[in-house]
Amino acid sequence: MDQEETERDPLISDEPLFAFDAEGNNRPLILGDEPARDPAMFDVPKFLQPERQPEYKFFDLDDMGDSGKRPKQVDPTVSSNQVPLDEPYYEDSFSSFNQSLYDRPFESEHASANEGLNENLGGASPNQGGVQEAIQGIDENTGQDVEPFDVKNDVNKSTPMTPSKPNHVLNEKASKSLKSAQINSSKTADPRDQAASAVKKQTSSNNRSSAGQDKVVVHRPYVFPSLNLLNQDRSKLAGQKRAVVQDMATKLEDTLDSFGVSAKVINITTGPSITRFELSPGPGVKVSRIVNLADDIALSLAAIGLRIEAPIPGKSAIGIEIPNKETQMVTLRPILEDATFRKATSKLTVALGRDIPGAPVYCDLTKMPHLLIAGATGSGKSVCINSILISLLYKASPEEVKLILVDPKIVELSVYNGIPHLLAPVVTDPQKAANTLNWAVVEMDRRYQEFAERRCRDIKAFNHAVANDPEGEKMPLILIVIDELADLMMTAPSDVEDAIVRLTQKARAAGIHLIIATQRPSVDVITGLIKSNIPSRIAFAVSSQVDSRTILDSGGAEKLLGKGDMLYHPQSSNKPVRCQGALVTDEEVERVIRGVRENNEAQYDAELATEMISTTAEERRGESTDEEEDELLEDAVELFLEVGHASIALLQRRLRIGYPRASRIIDELELKGWVGPFDGSKPRKLLVTNESWSQIKAQRKEDEATIDFINDW
């Protein structure tokens, strides 16, 4: 074909057109009958036609004025079919897009260069189709309460303005344009660039298409739930009236004086559920004398329960804690609205409740680094776990914190299924939960190997090192929550204890943290090894002082009131702190979870979830080594050679076999050295090539022939 031709677009008039040829030069287009489309040509968009869009407002991308940025005006009386396009217009307009818009994180790696560039330029076209909606949906100050938006739909709404040029021409022009974009972006911060950059930062690195797959995985940025989903704190201060409190202080001093103990009340603190009297003992009065009079003081004040803290940490006083006749409800919303929670830099900062003076109590799980929660039935353990999990949903995105929830009781944590923070659905089977802990140990070892390769000591240093590495991926923190440890210890005590001990000893630097809850704090459940490696504890009401000592190594929990009354003993404190736990109702939990589900999508890793929860310990160990080789072994290798990687899910889908058999085949291939070991969420590496596999097959046939000959002989 001597002349370059293109297909006529019905939306474009018969005005003269212009296009690039395969060498990137300006060439006129000769319009005629409908010829075959030349891939080196393109259709001129409507807004580039002179005098065809009078209502169209030109968007000056770099604030340099409109000079030289419009198509040349053409005299309509000219009969020539050749209309040249102003070259500086294309160059400058294309170069004004910055790197963040050119490298969209949700682009498919396998899309053609023309399609990918179309979406990039289209996303920032003058009509602002996709990026403008992103700007409206992201709160620049807090990042919360944003309206959900669909990236795919927004991109489709944009106006395409990219010529269909050869890849080498596009790459040359893109490289020049991106250099110019860096200069332009340093002068003026375009709001579209900020929105696109926010989208790119919040999009998980797991959204990239894996090798050999054409599927485009798109995850929207995490939309934080609104605080309006939680109940307002409408309760009034239910503390004791001042006259009543003063009368109780006078009775307390008189009671001690009747036993020959000189002491004076120097301060009174009224909290949500407890009133604390601070006593200053007289000269020569032993603290033990006041402690031994606890029952007599309770009788004198007609108190339901009494606890003595001698001395109060940081004060030269003895604290006598008496329950209020009316208890003030502590709700979660005001604690999350507090500036302390909003300004906390740690993504594992969670809300617990309020202390005796009424100040909010928070805990940073990264400093604990693991937490043990124990208490009798109905004392508030499950509500405390809900407070922690709801706090995380308001504090961290799925790219920052991942959750593994183990709920042998089935009904407590199953409501959290479907949130984007979960690595896998809530684990309810005790045997599968034991295997989940074993996976966490493997993940911990894998992380330490990557730390060693980059010479980093912990996850914070690693994420800082890979922040500027385009090939590196940040690691999220992983929080494992076990709602009832006793069921796991009854099912697989050795496996569970070994995994928990290894995690509590080493997992802190790897960014893996545990929260373990149990209602039976006996020594066969909370063993010495487990307790020694979990320094931070929360004790709710228990039945005996022995149980309190099992949890806290000291008494006091047996005197708690229940219904959220707790003793919080962090690693950094010498003595436990008494708190009233925040109340989160089931209706609040359901509203928050529903809001998160509606605005976000679950990000389960299918193969990782299968490895974690679908394999029992017996299946992973496989059958005896004397078992004959699986007849599908060679078929599996040939399948992996065809695809390029190995995975259990691939065997199940393509060979139509169950998980136990596929797992045994993978284990057998790993023992033979044909596939690599399990590497977290990544597919297993294939250690054989087509050439080496041909040699292996030939050798196997020779060995089989030799064995048959020997048997016949």
What is the dotted CATH code of the domain comprising 619-712? 1.10.10.10
**In the chain, where are the structural domains located?**
18-221, 242-323, 333-599, 619-712
Question: Rounded to the nearest 5 degrees, what angle is found at the Cα of 613, between the Cα atoms of 609 and 617?
Answer: 135
Average pLDDT over residues 249-269: 90
Written as six digits, the tokens of 563 are 């219904």
Cα distances (Å, whole numbers) of residue 350 to 336, 341, 361, 589: 9, 8, 9, 15
Higher-pLDDT residue of 510 and 41 is 510
pLDDT tens figures, 438-493: 889 989 999 999 999 889 999 999 999 998 887 778 999 999 999 989 888 887 78
Structure tokens at 95: 């170069």
* pLDDT of res. 63: 45
Q: Which residue has the higher pLDDT, 281 or 167?
A: 281
Least confident span in 139-148, 371-380, 498-507, 663-672 = 139-148
Backbone angles phi, psi at 366, to 5 degrees: -70, -20
What does DSSP assign to residue 267? E
97 against 710, higher pLDDT: 710
Average pLDDT, the chain: 72
pLDDT digits (tens, 9 = 90+) for 166-188: 343 334 444 444 344 443 433 43
- List of E strands, 123-205: none
d(C-alpha 275, C-alpha 324), whole Å:
6
Band of the pLDDT at 364, cuts 50, 70, 90? very high
Residue 154: Cβ-neighbour burial (10 angstroms; 0-12, 13-18, 19+): buried
* DSSP codes of every residue in 372-398: EEE--TTSSHHHHHHHHHHHHHHH--T
Residue 196 is predicted with a pLDDT of 39
Confidence (pLDDT) at 21: 54
What is the per-residue DSSP string for 621-685? Answer: H-S-TTSPPPTTHHHHHHHHHHHSSB-HHHHHHHH---HHHHHHHHHHHHHTTSBPPPBTTBPBP
Mean pLDDT score, 505-521: 91
Task: Tell me the backbone φ, ψ of residue 322, rounded to 5 degrees.
Answer: -125, 135
Q: In angstroms, how far is CA 679 from the centroid of its own chain? A: 19
Provide the CB-side half-sphere exposure for 21 (13 A, CA).
Answer: 12
Q: 370 has which bridge partners?
A: none
Query: Closest by alpha carbon to 56, among 66, 47, 44?
Result: 47
Highest mean pLDDT pick, 72-81, 355-364, 657-666: 355-364
Fold of 242-323: Threonyl-tRNA Synthetase; Chain A, domain 2 (3.30.980)
pLDDT mean over 674-683: 77
pLDDT in tens, 25-58: 555 555 444 444 444 444 555 555 454 444 444 4
> Pairing relation of β-strands 371-374 and 512-518?
parallel
Range among 120-124, 161-165, 191-195, 608-612 rated most confident = 608-612
Average pLDDT over residues 629-646: 86
Query: For the sheet containing 477-482, what is the strand order?
Result: 360-364, 349-355, 577-581, 565-569, 536-539, 371-374, 512-518, 477-482, 401-406
In this structure, of 215-219, 511-515, 675-679, the range with the lowest mean pLDDT score is 215-219
| CA 666, chain centre distance (Å) | 29
103 against 548, higher pLDDT: 548
d(CA 68, CA 276): 78
Per-residue pLDDT for 192 more than 50? no
**Residue burial 113-151, b: 16+ Cβ < 10 Å; e: rest:** bbebbbbbbbbbbbebbbbbbbeebbeeeeeeebeebeb
What pLDDT shows up at residue 373?
94
Mean pLDDT is lowest, of 234-238, 241-245, 569-573, for 234-238
Query: pLDDT digit string (tens) for 582-637?
Result: 999 999 999 999 999 999 988 776 655 666 544 444 444 443 344 567 888 888 88
Start-to-end C-alpha separation, the chain: 74
pLDDT band at 165 (very low <50, low <70, confident <90, very high): very low
pLDDT at 352: 94
What is 333-599's CATH number, 3.10.20.740, 3.40.50.2000, 3.40.50.300, 3.30.56.10? Answer: 3.40.50.300
pLDDT in tens, 449-458: 999 988 999 9
User: Which residues are within 8 A (CB) of 636 and not within 5 positions of it... i.e. 6 or more apart?
Assistant: 646, 651, 655, 665, 669
What is the distance of C-alpha 503 from the center of its chain?
Answer: 20
Encoding tokens for residue 443?
């993940």
**Contact yes or no for 288/311 (Cβ under 8 A):** no
